[in-house]
Structure formats: structure tokens, C-alpha cells
Amino acid sequence: MTGSLNQTTAIRIEQMDCPVEERLLRKALEKQPGVLQLHFNLMSRVLSVTHQPTALEDILQVIRKIGFTPELGTAGRPGDTAVTGVSGCCSHRHHHHGGDNHVGHAHGEHAHRHDNAVSSSHADVSPNIAQGLLPVWWRLAAGGLFALIAELAHWFGAPDWLVVVSAVAAVALAGTDTYRKGLIALRYGDLNINALMSIAVTCALLIGQWPEAAMVMVLFTLSEWIEAKSLDRTRDAISGLMDLAPERVTSLQPDGTWQPVAVGLVAAGARLRIAPGERIGLDGRILKGMTTVNQAPITGESVPADKQPGDTVFAGTINESAEIEVEVTAAANSTTLARIITQIEEAQAVKAPTQRFVDTFSRYYTPAVVMLAVLLAILPPLLFDGEWRYWIYQALVVLIIACPCALVISTPVTVVSGLTAAARRGILIKGGVYLEQGHRLSWLALDKTGTITQGHPVQTDMIALREDRPVNEFQLIAASLAARSDHPVSRAVYQALPPQAGALLAVDDFVAVPGRGVQGTMAGRQWYLGSPVWAQAMGVGGPTLQASIESAEQQGQGVVVLMDDRGAVMLFTVADDIKPDSVAAIAQLHAEGVKTLMLSGDNQAVVRNIARISGVTEAQGQLLPQDKLDAIRRLQSQGGEVVGMAGDGMNDAPALAQSDISFAMGAMGSDMAIETADVALMDDNLMKIPEFLRLSRQTRRVLIQNISLALGIKAVFLALVLLGMGSMWIAVFADVGASLLVVVNGLRLLKAGQATGVA
């Protein structure tokens, strides 16, 4: 936590979207006076710096010295929390089209993406090239032409001066930006791809490899541009989520007219009119009209949902059949869609184990290979009478191979693609660590009410156990207590109260006892409404009560007991149906090798009955929150077990926190669920968990493939060099080719999110 006098400033840097730039900025800024903390969101090209107020201008000046263009897209605000993102690769990312219209600021204010966007988009060129005499394409084309002339002149034995002049012109035209970046990197002691390529091309020129040096620089610049375009698809996939909500909505004005208004200017409480076929711009509650809404962008479900007055609608969804009027319940920067986008960006900060390994490995890999290149250049000539020029050339080839570009980008591209694919299907994963760990899930514990069952039990019967008051008075007392509770069983008792029963009674000293029930004082008497377990703990019982409880439980019904200080007064029975998809979801989990355990506070007979119908592996009932927590710990103590927990209530919170992967059910519109769960399911459909498992396993396979490709290709070409069969051309193709392969392979995961048709 930073002090109140410090502030966090979000700085947009168009050139920053690769670990190379992040590392360079870290080295330049970490020792800068007044800088307290750095957070990088490479996907959005935003650097959030926590600093002393007087240090901002010096920070901006350091960034400019590196050759980057800092832009203050949002003002620094004390106490702001920045997010970290990891994405991109070691290449020139100056060619991203329309990047400024998709700025993902650290606080998810996607609704302001056009209003707050920075004014300059760099027109697909880096600042250095933009200031040149020719646009980037012409410079690259001209460099390629001169490189070709150098090759042909050398091939046909033209004068040496023509070869030299053509090669130097090609390197100058195509490689100016690479040299500039390389020199800056060397100044900060960073051996990135620009530094290695600059050294390799310069040394190639010095030993007289003019045509090859020229062509290598041109090919490198061209391939970097192609690689940047491929990688931009990952960023565009998240940017596409931002575009789901319209920029303007039709809002009721004070003078009674309906006018188009920018979504960023609409406050909670405003009234909107949404036409058939129109995208809903903000979260709200329907005031007028009945329609169907396609909620696929939020829930991943393609079947439209029927909506009527009082129902909730969400930004980014589509009103399909009729005009509706909606009262706005959330401003643009706090809609469900905005929170989803924010969580996807923040998820990039939670590095998966594979990514942490790759980051650590790459820090040692590059210096080791550079040292190998140095030894290769000097040892064979010194020890084995080798030709200096030949072995220096082979060392230059190794230098190009030394950059771990493909390895560095193999994990973030794959993980971000997987996170985005999951979001398209209504599965919000809070970090790559959970996406990767999901394939190891061996046990899934499930709450019963609201997770396996509908969560909306209805009262089926009530039995008076005393006759000192009319039955309708006891029912009113129970409903008055139940109305103050948020437990589904209590709500069933309250909702069963007939309208003619009269107004609810005033309840004093109300207390909700977790896992037990509720209590309060009415007309000077203490009343309790809760589970049979609570009744037993209070010493309340009797043959009639016990027989009624056993009869109801044998039928798979829940029981609620109304008690006072004299004993049990009335017994209510409730039933909760299993969700239509629960049985199929549990069957799929078993098919995926995951064992299931139902954890419930209901009595064992009800739990056993639901378990029999749903097909769960094991079931435990009459559990308090602590008991659920202990059940998770027991599973984890079996050794090597990765245990998940799916739930939707506060009673599940301790078990959700203890589990290795927690799944929040029904997270759509719920701030608490989205913020606390590892995986938030944007509807309450258990089928999303088998989908998550399959996506996790597919992501794992792609990660292994990408790391194997990146390291395998490097190993093959290092072996060729050591055998004296390498060339700079081959090294460039190997380096960039491997990067392109892992990017394209990682992007395949995006197809996993296209089944719903979400853009």
C-alpha cells in the first residue's frame, strides 16, 4: 500500500507490448529517484507507475530517452491500483492498427475508450521511422531492393563498390530502428533481439559479408512486421470484447425527449429506450416491455432469455424481439461487461507455472548462448588453427539464435488466447495459473443449493406442533423471520405466505446464525427458525417432531423448524429440484476423470436423495461452513490431489478460499463472485466446468507444443552451427519462423471460444 502523498500514473506507450520493452523500461526506471512501483499491462500498452508527485516529468523524460513516446491517457490518481499484463514478443510492435481505440486502461473503463483515447496512433509506424523521409513500407521496400541488388551484383561479379554501397543502403533503410533500439539496449546492459541483431549485422559487414548482412536485416525487419500482425490477433480478441457494447444509447432527457447520448455520460438511474435488434449499452432493470435477449456475449449461451419488467439486462447483450425501457443500474465503467474485460486484463498478471519457468529460463539462456558464441569465435582459431573469418561468422549465426523470442512468447500468447476463448463462452478465469492448473483437477466439491439444484426451493407442507395459537399466526411469525434471511429455504417459507395473512411483524435483535438459521424477538418473545440440527442442539424435540422430520427427509425434502423458548412450534417442508443440466455435467466430469463430492448443510437424507439422482461420487450433509472447509482439507491431504470447489453462497466462502480452484456459480452481475472466485461462471450452469477442464487440457497441450517447438528449433540450428553448417539466413528464418509458429499455434485456442458465435 502506498502512502497518501504518492500517486499512480497510467502512461500509454505505443511501442511497449513485448517483454523486451518491459525489461528495458524496468532497467531504466527502477533506480530512478521517486519511482516506487512499476506495473506493466502489455496487452493495453499501459505502464502504471507509482511515484512521488514531483517525479513524473523525470519519468517521462527517461521514457523518451529510451526512444519511446509516453502519453498520459489517464491522470495519475492517488491510491489507484494498476494491473500487470504479460503478452507480446520480442519484435517491433509499431504497426498495430487503431490501437488507441482499444486502450484497456488499468481500471477497465472500456466505455470511455473513444472519449479518453490518446490522440496519436502513430499511423502504423514507429516514431523514428515516421520522422524519416519515407513511410515505413517504402523504406522496407527500398531496403529490400538494395539488398537484392547487392546479392545480384555479388553473384554476377559486379564491382565491389556496387555491392558495398547497395548493402549499406539496404541496412540503413531497413535497419535504422533496429540499430537505434539495439544501442539503447546495450547502453542499459540488455542483450535483446535488437542488440543481438545489430551486433551480428555489424560484424557481418566488418568481415565482408555485405550481401548476406543486407538481406538478413531486411528479412528480419519484414518478418518482425509479419509476426507483429499475427500477435495483434490476440490483442484484437480482447479489444473485440470492448466493442460489444455500443458507444451511444437512447436516453430520456429532463424535457421528456429521447436523445442519443454517449454511454460514458449516462449515470445510474437514467432511463433508456432499446429498440429490437439493438445492443444494450448499460446494465439495467426493465421498466417497460417484454422481450427476449441474446446473452451469449456474457454467459456464452446462444439460447435467448425471456425478459419482462423487473428482470435484469446486461451491457453487450442484444435485445431481439421488442422495444423495452430500462433503468440503468451501473455506470459504463462498472457494468458486468466492463468487469469481465478488467478481469481478463488483470488475469494476465497471474503467471502460470510454465510461464514463470520460461521467464526464469530465458534470463539464463541468452547470456549462456552469447558466451557460447564468443567461445565459438575464438577457441577454434586459437586451439585448432581454425580460420578466424569462418568461425566469427558461425558465432554471428549463434548470436541470432541466442534470442529466446519464440520461447518468451510461447506461454503468454497461449494463455491469453485461452483466457479470451473462455470469456467468450461465459467462463471468466482469473489467471493463467488456474487455466493451466485445471487439467490436474482430481476432485470437485459442489454445494447443493443453487449449484446442483435450482436454488429456489418451494414450500410443500407445514405441520403445526402446538395448538396454543392459530396456524396462520405461527406461519406469519415464521415468514417475518424468513423475510430477513437470504437463505433459499427461508425464502421459500416467506414466499408461501398468502397475501391475506397480513403485514409482516416487526423483528427486533435479528441474528443470522451461519449453518443454523435465524432468530429474533417479536412481541417480547424470542423466536428461532432453522434446521433440525439446530433444533436438536437446542434440545428441542419429541416423537411428533422427529417422525415428521424423518418422513419428510425420506422423501428428499428439506425441513425448517419454527421454535420459541418453550420448544418446537411448527415444521415446514420444502423441496428443491435438480437443475436440468446438473446430471449431464456431473457425468461429463466423471468422464474427464474428476471425482465429485456434494457438501451441504441440509440433512443427510435429503443430500443422499439428491446425490442419488445427480450421480455425484460422494455426498455429505448437515455441514457447517467449517465442516465444508475441513472436507476440502481432507481431500487435499490425500497427497497430490488438486481440489476444486463450486458454490454460490456465503456459507461456501471458507471452502472456496481453501480449494485449489474455486468456481463461483451465477456470477453474472455479481461483484462479489467476479472479484473473489478463481473461475467465475457467468450463469449458473454446471456444464461450464467440464468446458473449463477441456479448455485447460487443450491449453496445456498447446503450451507443451510451443515450448517444444521453440527449444527444439533452437537446438537443431545450434547443432548445425556447431557442425559448421549454419548461416545467418537460416538463423533468421529459425528465429522468426519459430516465433510465428508458436504465435499461430497459440491463436488456435481462440477457436475454442467461437462456438457461441461471439465476436
The residues assigned a catalytic role are 447
Cell of 748: 488456435
Residue 452 and residue 474: Cα distance in Å, rounded? 32
Residue 33 burial by Cβ neighbours in a 10 Å radius (0-12, 13-18, 19+):
exposed
Four-point Cα dihedral 39, 40, 45, 50, nearest 10? 20
Residue 50 and residue 62: Cα distance in Å, rounded? 15
Cell of 738: 519459430
Instruction: Please name which of 220, 218, 240, 238 lies closest in space to residue 228, comparing C-alpha atoms.
Output: 220
- Are 13 and 48 in contact, with CB atoms under 8 Å apart? no
Q: Looking at the DSSP assignment, which residues form a beta bridge with residue 286?
A: 326
Four-point Cα dihedral 352, 353, 356, 361, nearest 10? -140
Residue 313 and residue 319: Cα distance in Å, rounded? 9
- Report CA torsion sign: 480, 486, 488, 489: negative
Residue type, 412: P
175-180 long-range contacts (CB < 8 A, ≥24 apart) are 175/143, 175/201, 175/217, 175/220, 175/221, 176/128, 176/129, 176/132, 176/139, 177/92, 177/126, 177/128, 177/129, 177/221, 178/92, 178/217, 178/220, 178/221, 180/67, 180/128
| Distances in whole angstroms, Cα of residue 402 to Cα of each of 23, 158, 191, 193, 507 | 17, 34, 9, 8, 74
- The set of residues, in sequence order, having a beta carbon less than 8 Å from that of 379 and lying 6+ positions away, is none
Q: Sheet with 567-575: list strands edge to edge.
A: 458-464, 567-575, 558-564, 525-530, 517-522, 508-513
Instruction: Please name which of 91, 98, 101, 121 lies closest in space to residue 17, comparing C-alpha atoms.
Output: 91
The length of the chain is: 759
- Are 214 and 171 in contact, with CB atoms under 8 Å apart? yes
Residue 293 and residue 272: Cα distance in Å, rounded? 16
